[in-house]
Amino acid sequence: MLNNRQLILGHFWLAFALFTVALVLGAWQMWVRSPLLPWVSDPELYYRAVTAHGTVMAYVLPTLVAMGFGYAISQAALQQSLIGVRWAWLGLILVAVGSVMAVIPVALGRASVLYTFYPPLVGSAFYYIGVVLAVVGSWIWVALLSVNLYAWKREHPGAPVPFAMFAIVAGAYLWAWTSVGAALELLFQIIPAAVGLTSTIDAGLSRVYFSWTLHAIVYFWLIPTYIAFYTIFPRAIGGKLYSDTMGRIAFILFLVVAMPIGIHHTFADPQIGAGFKFIHSAFTALVSLPTLLTVFTICASAEIAGRLHGGRGPFGWIAALPWGNPIMLATALSFVMLGFGGAGGLINMSYQLNTSIHNTQWITGHFHLIFGGAIVIMYFAIAYDLWPHLTGRALPREGLMRLQLWLWTVGMIITTFPWHYVGILGMPRRMAYYDYSNPLLAAQAPWVDISTVGALIILISGLLFIFILVEGHRGSAIDVSKYQFSTAVHPPVALPGALNGLGLWVALMIGLTVTNYGFPIVELLARTGVAVPAVYVGSQP
């Protein structure tokens, strides 16, 4: 069994408890703005729910999953006890306190500004301070992973860093750097306005700061999923990882290129030059490379396992794979959703195609499919894989887990595919109700109904997930073997420094941030007279 079980379980349970609340809110939102119900009498309730749902799902759930998983990796991959356990607990407490502090004003209707903040709209200062606290808690995690890796490297000079640790530390550094953007926006623009120190905000600059965070954060969310692809999936299905080197290269590419591409979220903004929009668009194309490499490597690893199970012929190995294994199923379903979601992302990446669907429901469909679908389903897989090692007990039977995963996938597809379509029809985002009786909007109504059915299926799957984890605490005690990651077909014996350390890549990440963001930010900072009066919603300073 793993050490520090309470610590890791604490992270996961906080994450999944808040996730459940946010899931219920999400289902309610789908239902209430669909043709199935009359218009909500208080639209502020809807926006309140959207703010809470987004804040939890974007800032709390994935951060806690990465943190808990990261501590587990640090112990299991490095095979050394976790250094800094008290600091780790402090980090978790900060995230918990921050989340509560953020969610309470939202629940009271004092911060219905959405998780993307959108200054000059300004809500209760406690909301933003809560978010900052949660982020600071995660920075403690970044520091601890770094410390643990450094200690291990000192004990094992020249030895290849275990792949899982290499990957999660890359993710941690990516997160630390990308969170700086939102931190700048919060600390220097929004919180001063929220507490009344300033009364104006440059809305254009704040969007650029936020875009700094907004894209790379999704790669921070994605990294635990991809680590599961590389280090859990091959082992779980009785195979080997096709290539350790290509895996490291994929994570290195994420570390370097995930950051300096955020302006593709502001293609339609008037405060940024067209040249930088193109530069970010081109680099965004580059960030699909590590995913393409990963798809190859993981499929090849699956093929190894399939043939080890006796599969023959060009496709016979697929049938030979252990489909009864929940990890096998989760990975395959994740790849299906990744394919569609990734294709949608390629559409969003070019200014030309983006103009058709910017800020329509296509965008909402896209990120629910790729994040809620492809990424979160692997969070479930990670939980299922780790749970016996955290509880010392057996999980309920695999059929139940497979059902939960199928329901999640089917529900997500039923929800998001029509969402993409109504986005193409031009349905705008984030409205509490729509007049489906208007002939120009009537075509959207049936698809919104279908999406709502999907939301119900997703909700059932989420509740089933919690049920399974709870049962995992009450199952029969079992003897768990040591927690293992997958081994590569050619395990590295000695690696060049570039593949065994992150210094060069962090330097490139920062360098690209300077080239891609430096001038736009400096130009916006240098402008005077463009700051807008803050608009206080729900709460005056």
Ramachandran bin of 118, using left for φ above 0, alpha for ψ from -120 to 50, beta for the remaining angles: left
The one-letter code for the residue type at 69 is: F
Q: Which residues of 401-419 are buried (b: 16+ CB within 10 A; e: fewer)?
A: bbebbebbbebbbbbbbbb
The torsion angle over the Cα atoms of residues 237, 240, 242 and 243, rounded to 10 degrees, is 130
Catalytic sites, residue numbers:
215, 219, 366-368, 429-430
Q: What does the alpha-carbon distance between residue 111 and residue 123 come to, in Å, rounded to a whole number?
A: 4
Return d(Cα 349, Cα 459) in angstroms, integer.
30
Do 434 and 444 contact (CB within 8 A), yes or no?
yes
CA dist 127 and 101 (Å) reads: 6
- Which segments of 185-268 does DSSP mark as H helices, in order? 191-194, 203-227, 233-236, 244-257
Q: Which helix or strand (DSSP H or E) is residue 426 part of?
A: none
Residue 386: CB partners within 8 Å, gap ≥ 6?
2, 8, 12, 69, 72, 483
Q: Tokens at residue 483, please?
A: 């927690």
Please state, as a whole number, how many other Cβ atoms lie within 10 Å of the Cβ of residue 442: 12
Torsion-angle region of 117 (φ positive above 0: left; ψ -120 to 50: alpha; else: beta): left
SS (H, E, C) 51-74: HHHHHHHHHHHHHHHHHHHHHHHH
Beta strands in 273-373 (DSSP E): none
d(CA 331, CA 337): 10
Longest dimension (CA), the chain: 71
Q: Tell me if 420 sits within 8 A of 398, measured CB to CB.
A: no
Contact (Cβ atoms closer than 8 angstroms) between residue 361 and residue 383: no
Of 128, 102, 112, 103, the C-alpha closest to 48 is 112
Give CA separation, 194 vs 47, 428, 540, in Å: 19, 28, 8
d(CA 287, CA 370): 15
Residue 197: CB minimum distance to other proteins, A:
11
